Amino acid sequence: MVKFLARCPSFNTSGSYNKSSRDGDIRDEPQAALRGTVASLPLKGKSALITGAGRVLGVYITQELAEVGASCIAIIGRDKARIDVAQKNFSDAYPSTEYTTFAADITDEQTIVDVFKIFGAPDVLVNNAGVFPDAGPFVEQSLAEWFSGFIINILGTATVAQKFLQAKWKFNPAIVLNVSSMAAHMRFPLIRWSGYNGSKMGQVRIFENIRFEHPEVRFVNVHPGNIESDGFTPSGASEPSGGMTDGKLVGQLFAWLASGEADFLSGRFVWAEWDIEELKAKEKSILENDLLLTTVDRFSKGFLWYTLYQMTTCAVDC
């Protein structure tokens, strides 16, 4: 049993999915609970760093972190012209926030080290930069191009996360929000997703593991919904029957995840379209049953216990 809440959209054979729910609500537009978070300015006086900030999802996230009071935000992107334009747009819209731009490749270790030397270790790190590498069925692809998804989505994200952890003072609390995808844990009835699915799963597992090494850091993996972005079109996925996800909703979710209300989600995997009030109401169940992880159930008591459980089950049922 994969340890998620018993609620996920259902897929059909065309590759699109239905935003239906067995025991809860799916939201496509900003929620009252998220608007309340924005009004409370949870990041007032704090800093943030966002990778891939010049493109669609990164723009939404940056805007909402500024909206909730972040005093300074570092924005990273490979395209200097694009990131400079983004900085101007952010400064015009949210002049009370100071912006620092870095034209950088997240896989360039020394460059990322320099970023944190210049900007310092922020209170909130958002790993948003990523790529959809698949250009066709696995057997037809250039493996170098296919593997670029692992280089950027795993190595690049890990590079930023490691250099951040090395830059911050050891005992300082911090928040790391990782833009993942439902591709990490759902079966897609689509061809040409192997590189993306595999790299996103690896990315998620990294943060589910290193949270034990850094209990002072709140790591959260996030499926941002279906945003009209550079990555959605080449994926070949159809638009969901309920429509695309509102980018403002996603940005506000990240702002909420950086607030104290979301502390119970440390190490978890959440979807932007989940109802926030319902999620908060399930806090006790999530913690007691260790939900919202990409793990196999019944391992919590140890491998030997699980092996004995399997042997007993087989003796009774086989």
Q: Where are the domains of the chain?
A: 10-317
What pLDDT score does 298 carry?
53
What pLDDT score does 12 carry?
33
Residue 131, both tokens: 């790529």
First to last CA, the chain: 19
CATH topology assigned to domain 10-317: Rossmann fold (3.40.50)
User: How many CA atoms does the CB half-sphere of 156 hold within 13 Å?
Assistant: 26
What's the pTM value of the predicted model, to 2 decimals? 0.84
What pLDDT score does 28 carry?
55
Cβ proximity of 142 and 106 under 8 Å? no
The tens-digit pLDDT sequence of the chain (318 residues) is 334 443 343 333 333 334 444 344 555 566 777 777 777 888 999 999 999 999 989 999 999 999 999 999 999 999 999 999 999 999 999 999 999 999 999 999 999 999 999 999 999 999 999 999 998 899 999 999 999 999 999 999 999 999 999 999 988 999 999 999 988 877 666 778 889 999 999 999 999 999 999 999 999 999 998 877 665 555 566 666 677 788 888 999 999 999 999 999 999 999 998 988 999 999 999 998 888 988 765 555 555 545 555 555 554 444
Q: Which helix (H) or strand (E) holds 279?
A: helix 276-281
How many residues are present in the chain? 318
User: How many CA atoms does the CB half-sphere of 188 hold within 13 Å?
Assistant: 20
Residues 6 or more apart whose CB falls under 8 angstroms from that of 293 comprise 3, 4, 208, 267, 268, 269
